[in-house]
Chain A
């Protein structure tokens, strides 16, 4: 038995979802998304929970967790800022934007601030190049992002306001 557990409501949701697929293993990706929502990151006990819930081997879950970039095995800051620097964003100043963001937070891409408030990562194309540069903040797409907008985001994040 794993130390972490899904809530009864979540388990119901998972059982309903599994029925939509020919085999339960198809639900590994969506159930990992749910586990990220519930537990923030995917520790080994959480991955074991996903494996046990779906009746698959831990190694099948590990293989998925380590292949896909959205699954985090370690916690990140309270606010996650994902900056796209691929072609469309790069042509519209994303490198400069990322550099300024890191300067303001005094961290490097891939790092978390000392107070655990912000994590910044550089990501690949987010599929919204019409609004370049794009920053995905706590899951929401922010388009045509300016330095000024980042200042607002940081100020809100620091006061614990939702961004």
Chain B
């Protein structure tokens, strides 16, 4: 049970993550799942729910950090078209692995969050778009959904109320870009995941041109606690403007890689030392990638940064999806950057020229430098290409591809110069 005193809250999404058999409806119900749902369905109005979500200060947990209540309030009313709710479970940003644990260990929390969100938005059909590789997680969700249907928690007239909602799990098929919400929508329509121009935003024109809300797994899993305890309760957790708990996926050169849910405002140092067991080598990271591979690097001097959207932005990076990759002295930063460049080149959908061509350039030049074939002008070309990609494309993949390279050049120019100077031929 989550305490009603916000000062005593130690977990929201992961409150029951270690409970054995939590994925079954029986155990989930024993832990309080769906208990508050009838109150929401029978006594809450849509306006009240959206208002509580706004008060809560919850910001999207998938990467962009957009206020959830505000996103919901953008859905136009009385359009004559259906409104859709899509859960973004396409977890693919290198370093991010939190939604997988939520879905495989506590799927009913997500389902309950989706029913409540769907009710607030007047949704009849909701979908969970899960990355294709998560075969077992998709099965877990489907099993949980079947149990929910059998218990009248999904389907027609949920728990005897006037609200009906259907929920379908939809597997992707190996395309990082489908985590971008408009690419996800294209993919759900049975097409290649090529992002759309915005505006129109999905809230107005999304799935088959109908109003659509796309929310991350962790965001939706936070909804039941907010509606039960109130927006003010949630707002009191974390720091002003950065409310709530957040799951951080910690990986790389740490002793205990894993998912840790902490209040926003916890310092990076505390996350690494108190939760993730400290570094594998040395005492301070050489590089910290704070929010997934697309976010600019931080250095040891930022080790005490509070983990909030605002503090990480002030430090020159982003909280992103909360994927903290720790890199110690032993790592080869040029090889790592080349590997990330390969990733973005592989995952570029190809519709915008700066990204399609640029990601390939970056990878080829870095490969050349790494193998001792670098040229003096490569540094300028890398910087030039990276800067000309960012902000010149439909979606942010190109910005993400540029970030590691610009970080490498900014913070470790001597490494690149040295690699070029030590030519092998």
On A, residues with C-beta under 8 Å from B are 17, 20-23, 25-30, 32-33, 56, 60, 63-64, 67-71, 85-88, 90-92, 123-132, 136, 139-141
Interface contact A127-B134, CB-CB below 8 Å: yes
Chain A neighbourhood of B402, CB < 8 A:
none
Contact string, B234-255, partner A, CB cutoff 8 A, digits 1/0? Answer: 0000000000000001111100
Interface residues of B in 154-179 (CB under 8 A from A): 166, 168, 170-176
Interface contact B134-A139, CB-CB below 8 Å: no
**B96, CB-defined interface residue at 8 Å:** yes
Chain A neighbourhood of B356, CB < 8 A:
none
CB distance from A31 to the nearest CB of B (A): 9
Interface contact B136-A128, CB-CB below 8 Å: no
On B, residues with C-beta under 8 Å from A are 82, 91-97, 99-100, 125, 131-136, 166, 168, 170-176, 187-193, 207-208, 210, 249-253, 257-259, 289, 293, 323, 325, 327, 331, 335-336, 339-340, 343, 346-347, 349
Q: With A and B bound together, what is the CA distance between A90 and B95 in angstroms?
A: 11
Chain B neighbourhood of A139, CB < 8 A:
135-136
Q: With A and B bound together, what is the CA distance between A26 and B257 in angstroms?
A: 37
Interface hub of A20, A68, A70, A125 (most chain B Cβ within 10 A): A125
3 nearest interchain CB pairs? A68-B173, A67-B192, A129-B251
**A56-B190 contact, Cβ under 8 Å, with A87-B325, A88-B251:** yes
Q: Which of A23, A33, A124 contacts B171 (CB 8 A)?
A: A33
Q: Which of A20, A32, A70 contacts B166 (CB 8 A)?
A: A20
Chain B neighbourhood of A26, CB < 8 A:
170, 188-190
Chain B neighbourhood of A33, CB < 8 A:
132, 171, 173
Interface contact A69-B250, CB-CB below 8 Å: no
Q: Which of B99, B173, B188, B191 contacts A70 (CB 8 A)?
A: B173
Interface contact B97-A128, CB-CB below 8 Å: yes
Q: With A and B bound together, what is the CA distance between A23 and B84 in angstroms?
A: 14
**A64-B257 contact, Cβ under 8 Å, with A20-B168, A29-B172, A70-B133:** no
Q: With A and B bound together, what is the CA distance between A27 and B399 in angstroms?
A: 32
Interface contact B95-A88, CB-CB below 8 Å: yes
Interface contact B174-A70, CB-CB below 8 Å: yes
Chain A neighbourhood of B193, CB < 8 A:
67-68
Q: Which of A27, A29, A87 contacts B339 (CB 8 A)?
A: A87
Interface contact B96-A87, CB-CB below 8 Å: no
Nearest B residue to A63 via CB reads B192
CB distance from B149 to the nearest CB of A (A): 12
CB distance from B181 to the nearest CB of A (A): 16
Q: With A and B bound together, what is the CA distance between A124 and B342 in angstroms?
A: 9
Q: With A and B bound together, what is the CA distance between A90 and B343 in angstroms?
A: 12
Interface contact A88-B259, CB-CB below 8 Å: no
Q: Which of A17, A71, A91, A123 contacts B252 (CB 8 A)?
A: A91
**A85-B166 contact, Cβ under 8 Å, with A33-B132, A68-B175:** no
CB distance from B167 to the nearest CB of A (A): 9
Chain A neighbourhood of B188, CB < 8 A:
26
Q: With A and B bound together, what is the CA distance between A63 and B257 in angstroms?
A: 38
Q: With A and B bound together, what is the CA distance between A17 and B95 in angstroms?
A: 33
Chain A neighbourhood of B210, CB < 8 A:
22
Q: Knowing that A30-B171, A70-B132 touch, tell me 13 more A-B residue pairs with CB under 8 angstroms.
A: A22-B208, A25-B189, A25-B191, A29-B170, A33-B173, A60-B190, A68-B193, A71-B174, A91-B253, A124-B347, A125-B95, A129-B325, A131-B257
Q: With A and B bound together, what is the CA distance between A62 and B170 in angstroms?
A: 19
CB distance from A64 to the nearest CB of B (A): 6
Chain B neighbourhood of A123, CB < 8 A:
174
**A68-B172 contact, Cβ under 8 Å, with A26-B189, A29-B187, A127-B100:** yes
Interface contact B136-A140, CB-CB below 8 Å: yes
Interface contact B189-A87, CB-CB below 8 Å: no
Chain B neighbourhood of A69, CB < 8 A:
173-175
